[in-house]
Each structure stands twice: as structure tokens, then as C-alpha cells.
Amino acid sequence: MWWVNLSNGIPANSNVTIYMYIGPTSANYYQQYYPYVGTNAQVIGTMQYDNGQDVFIAYGYFEGVSTISGPYGYYYLDDGWYIYVISGDSPGMSSGGIFLSNYQPSIYQPTYSLYYLLPPSICNIPKIPLIVEEAWYYYRTYSGDANVIALFGNTNQQIYAEYIGNTSSYSVAPTSNLSTFVQFNYYSGVTYLKSAVTNSTLNQTSFPTSGGTVYSYLIVNSSYAQTGYYIYNSNQVLAPLTLLDTYNINYNNYTYSNLNYNPFQYGTLEIGAGTGGATSVQYIQWIVARAYPPNGIMPSISTGSESSWPP
């Protein structure tokens, strides 16, 4: 698998030609051309040639990344991502990604476990056609709560996602104030698309409460917001970083809303996770923010004939 950064995009009614050299399978082209050529660690079994941070607007592949503790409640990963612990135990790392410790009813545990993640360039998320994709895993032994993807909010002011739009159901997860966000609530089994700017629920659809590995996404632009998800299976698996075609793969597990307000309050991205008075576990496997084609129309692709190299 290869990925390519087209820094100027592909203008409408035009084309881009990409030349690829196909050589012996014994050659390590990642080693020869990194960081200009790379792929994610899941494909080649090492993070040494993972150059996703040089290709995408925001990129986090969390298998094998270690946490480094900072001041109380603050952690940063060796790939530049930040983890803030509002309440709860310290996060950890596992083969499945970032482990956000669950709430276990006990006098030794806080009432809530609340976490949020920020990318290295916290305030540098552009307003271009943008899609944020996330793979995460959850299970609940008693109850459970929510995962949140939030765009363009004030990350210095955290609020409870459940209170926006008056959907309080004894479940908690943080989100940034003035953001447009999606709340995957596996306590009540609902996906909420919300605006903290207008304090309203824009739209909603169902969400499984049984657990599993989730691919989820959020699109926000000046005219509409869209979110959706895909459940891989009920077991813990590392979801492949394939940047799925969100318009076909989600089998109508999506919700959409036209916007009647300006969503671009801040240039930020945040991932939130939380549980309150319940027992549940979340692993954040990977996060990608990238450009997507305007109007959701993918460009056509054609391949030419093979020729010897060099020409």
C-alpha cells in the first residue's frame, strides 16, 4: 500500500499522472525513499517507515506508540499527540492502541472517567473539504458511554457532549465548546450529530450497544455536516487503515444535516471518550484527517501501459 500527498489537489476538469516503478520484491523501497515514500505500520510490521504525519492533515497510528507522562492529567505520545485526563486513571498502550481505562464501581475510583486527544498541530485544521476518520474498539460489561469526534471547537473549554441538544442520559464524554461533533453513545444506542454553537442536535441515528471494532467518520463544511460508522465484528481486531469509501461502506449507518450557521469557530480537532457510573473500555486505534473530493465525487482512475525503466 502506498499513499500520495497531492499538495495542490486535482483541479476540476483536469488530471494528474503518477508514475510508479515496479521492481524486485526483495528491494526495500521504503528504506530507499523514506520519508517521501511510506505506509502505515500495520502493512509492513514496523513504524520505522510510517510517514502518515507527512501526508495527512492529522495522523495518529497508535499501535506501538508509548505514552510519556507530563504534569498531572496531561500526557503526550512520542508521535506528538496529546492526551488529557479530566478524570480517571492514567491511559495506557496496548496492541490495540491507546487504552482509556474504564470506570470500575469502587470507592477508589472517580465517578467519571473522561479523556480527550489532540493532534500535534492543535489549532491548524483547515476549512477545506475535510473528513476525519477514526478506528476504535469498545466493550461494556455493565453499561458504557460514548466516543466523540469534534471539529472547530475551543479545546481550552471542555463541556459534556450529552448536555448539548438536551440528550442527557447518564452518559458522559467531553467535547470542545463551540464545536460541531458526533457523539457515538453506546449507553443509549444512539449516534448524535450535534452543534455546540447552536446547542442543538442536528440529526441522529442508531448505534450498537454490544461492542466491537468501529470505523467512524465526521465531515463538516460550510453547508452540511455528515457522520457515519461501520462495525467490523464483535471481537477486538485492529481495523485496517484503508481510508474507506464512506459513501458506500456504511450501509446507511450515517446521519446528515444542512447547516444554518458558521461552523468554523476554531481550527481544531478533538477526540473525546468518557464513561460515568458504568463499566466500559475504549481503545483508540488510529485517527486520520484528510481532504475529500468536493460534493463527494471521487475522481476516476485509469492505468496506462507498462514500459521499461528508466525510459
Residue range 86-102, pLDDT digits in tens: 877 777 777 778 877 55
Distance CA(263)–CA(223), nearest Å, equals: 9
Supply the DSSP string of 37-65, one letter for each residue: S---HHHHS-STT--HHHHSSEEEE-TTP
Distance CA(289)–CA(266), nearest Å, equals: 16
| pLDDT at residue 183, as a whole number | 95
Asked if pLDDT for residue 196 goes beyond 90, the answer is: yes
* Contact present, 288 and 242 (Cβ < 8 Å): no
Q: Which CATH architecture has domain 56-294?
A: Sandwich (2.60)
Of all residues in the chain, the percent with pLDDT exceeding 70 is 83
How far, in whole angstroms, is CA 209 from its chain's centroid? 20
Residue range 22-75, pLDDT digits in tens: 778 788 888 888 877 788 777 777 778 888 888 889 999 887 777 777 766 788
Domain locations in the chain as residue ranges? 16-52, 56-294
Distance CA(8)–CA(137), nearest Å, equals: 35
φ, ψ for residue 294 (rounded to 5)?
A: -55, 140
Q: Which of 107-116, 212-221, 286-295 has the highest mean pLDDT?
A: 212-221
Asked if pLDDT for residue 241 goes beyond 90, the answer is: no
Asked if pLDDT for residue 107 goes beyond 50, the answer is: no
Mean pLDDT over all residues of the chain?
A: 82
Q: Residue 150's closest CA among 232, 225, 258, 100?
A: 225
What number is the average pLDDT over the span 204-221?
90
Residue range 64-84, pLDDT digits in tens: 777 777 766 788 887 788 889
Dihedral sign from CA coordinates of 13, 19, 25, 29: negative
